[in-house]
Structure 1
Amino acid sequence: MKYFFKTFIILITIFIAKPLQGQNYKNNITQYKVKLKGRSEKLIDLGDVVSADSMNTTFKAKGYGPVDVNLKSMKKKKMSPGNIYDQVSESTVIVSSAGRCGEVNERGAECKRIHTYPASGYIIDSKGIIVTNYHVVNGYVTKYNTTSRDVLVVMLKDGTVFPVKEVLLADKSNDLAIIKIDPRGVELPALRVATEDAEIGDPVYIVSHPKGYFYAFSSGMVTDKFSEINFGQYRNLMAISADFAAGSSGAAIIDQYGNVMGTVTYTKTLQHSDDDSKTQMVLKAIIPSSVLLKLIKEGN
């Protein structure tokens, strides 16, 4: 009996002393930057892509009809922040233009490397329908983009890269775009879109790619709800305290139940009136989910 008891104590001690398995440390360069460039290059070489010049012939600021999307119903059970991250990160994508600039240097050598400019987006339909910002897609087709005009790609968290086949909707005033990829029969993990706007004080979460820190997680709350004029139209916006930055454009803002309650649009630095070098706070603006749902249902 003593032998059994000693053995039991030793096993318990080993179990307690054994470190718990934590989350892995990701390598943003090898896991995402290198794969994004390498797999985009393969798509370009295969030729099954829609170039910026081709997409620009159909891309417009408004004038789109309703979008046929299979939206899932809202969740109403609170989730832990960890569970929200696990779920939302699988549905968060990297949206990036990619291409060879073809510039010739002073020695006469042509640049053959692949240029990419990663932003964010999120899946709303398992058949390959994705939301991002208008300015992300416009950044691909605009004449000012001279370095990455070969393909607009969507990269999943597991590193799979797809070319964007079509822009289903674009709205300049509300800074939203809905794009389509062909997932080749794979059912993609889609997020649920909230049918009720959040209120000031509600908790929010975001998974995005600020400045190449891919799949970073941040939390905060809704801090304001306001309207502003943008390109001649009034639009409704919210402000949140959760952090995001360049590269987060098009990311989903998530409520405590795991539903999309908004989409990143811009940040605005608020400076001291007497000294422009002194930043007092950063306003982080998002587009409410009600705006996205109205565009899906009615078009623009």
Structure 2
Amino acid sequence: MTSLLSKSAPIAVAAALAMAPMLAPTVALAVPAGGYGDLVENVAPAVVFIEVTGVTQTGATLPDNIPESLRRRFEQHRPETAPQSGLGSGFIISKEGQIVTNHHVVNGAQSVRVKMADGRTFDAEVLGSDPATDIALLSIKAEVELPFVSFGTSQTMRVGDEVVAVGNPFGLSSTVTSGIISAKSRNINSGPYDDFIQTDAAINRGNSGGPLFNNDGDVIGVNTAIISPGGGSVGIGFAVPSDVVRNVVAELAKDGSVTRGWLGVSIRPMSDEVAQVLGFETSKGAVVDLISKDSPAEAAGLKKGDIILSFDGTEIEALRDLTRAVADKDPDDRANMTVLRRGKELILDVTIGTLVPQKA
């Protein structure tokens, strides 16, 4: 399990788009009469246990001044590599055997083994992986149709709506927990595309890559991280929204990678002092700090110190608004930007470039 540190507590990776009509909470989003038994019976067969084996380097590094005879003797006898295993969760999204999980669950894997709720096991192939959103797509081959679940629309979910998590915390397969959506669009500083659903459904080590369901049994998130001062669940977990996952999975299924738009700027927030001078109630927009040479931003005429207020219709309230808006564009798409330069608003047109894929 990988740990990321925030200022207040460890954030632990929990080894953890069509619009649908809003449904009345008393109909579809209320706790089912008699509990979640029927829902779990329907969805649990498609949730899988993932076991990963990789290789890690072992042994100490010798100092430079050691005698050559001792160095040769040491090199002959030390183990170069050792097996390393990891556990996680996933869920089947097609009868042919496509499985969604987290990138960090399968990153560096030499072999991936999938175990279903009914005890069947399969060797899995990693079709593709996206470090930026921590989503990976696997495939298994079976002689029969497999149980699978479908994506719902995370955008229509509200804070307070009930959710159910299914996964394999600490290797305990098919564990079910329930809770509510505690917040939406959370930024936990894990990457440039943070837009997490926060939930108080218990998520622990081993839940990573498992599904977060709404009361209709649709996947509305992929459980990915927890805030955990002691290593266990304290009721603060995070899931990648299904609207993001659906798009990433579609691209991974095509060629194993995700293509994102690129603007070619370094940006920083507007200071409160500048916001006050400009007459804004709060700081907003993205201040251009640096423009990459031969970038789309340079070709569009952006200058250092410009403040990007909107991008292709998206209002830029925080830096990640611009990051996501640009990434969502396809290379060679055209977009317009509203830019504030020396107190005057300008409209600039830009042709989007291609972002170099992030290394795992």
Normalising by structure 2, what TM-score? 0.50
Tell me the equivalent position of 1:186.
144
More helix by percentage = 1
The percent identity for this pair of structures is 28
Number of matched residues?
A: 203
The offset of 1:214, in angstroms, is 1.4
Does the 8 Å contact 2:133/2:193 carry over to 1?
no
Distance 1:260 1:267 in 2: 19
Tell which has more relative contact order, 1 or 2 (C-alpha 8 A, sep 6+). Answer: 1
The offset of 1:219, in angstroms, is 0.3
Does the 8 Å contact 1:262/1:287 carry over to 2?
yes
Distance 1:227 1:206 in 2: 18
- Aligned CA distance change for structure 1 residues 190 and 230 (closer, same or farther; 3 Å): same
Tell me the equivalent position of 1:82.
37
Tell me the equivalent position of 2:204.
245
Distance 1:170 1:99 in 2: 16
The offset of 1:281, in angstroms, is 4.7
Please point out which of 220, 226, 240 is paired with 1:261.
Answer: 220
Q: Which runs of 5+ in 1 are unaligned?
A: 1-72, 142-148, 271-276
Q: Does 1:286 align with 2:239?
A: yes
Q: Which moved more, 1:82-91 or 1:232-241?
A: 232-241
RMSD of aligned C-alpha atoms?
3.3
- Aligned CA distance change for structure 1 residues 196 and 282 (closer, same or farther; 3 Å): closer
Q: Which runs of 5+ in 2 are unaligned?
A: 1-19, 59-76, 252-257, 260-360
- What SS class does the counterpart of residue 234 from structure 1 fall into? coil
Which structure has the bigger radius of gyration? 2
Deviation per CA, 1:197-246: give whole Å up to 9, x if none: 32101100011111122111110000011242756523211100100100
Does the 8 Å contact 1:200/1:225 carry over to 2?
yes
- What SS class does the counterpart of residue 228 from structure 2 fall into? strand
The offset of 1:100, in angstroms, is 9.5
- What SS class does the counterpart of residue 204 from structure 2 fall into? coil
Does the 8 Å contact 2:126/2:136 carry over to 1?
no
Distance 2:36 2:121 in 1: 28
What amino acid is the match of 2:86? Y
- What SS class does the counterpart of residue 205 from structure 2 fall into? coil
Normalising by structure 1, what TM-score? 0.59
Does the 8 Å contact 2:161/2:181 carry over to 1?
yes
Distance 1:86 1:289 in 2: 21
Distance 2:205 2:114 in 1: 17
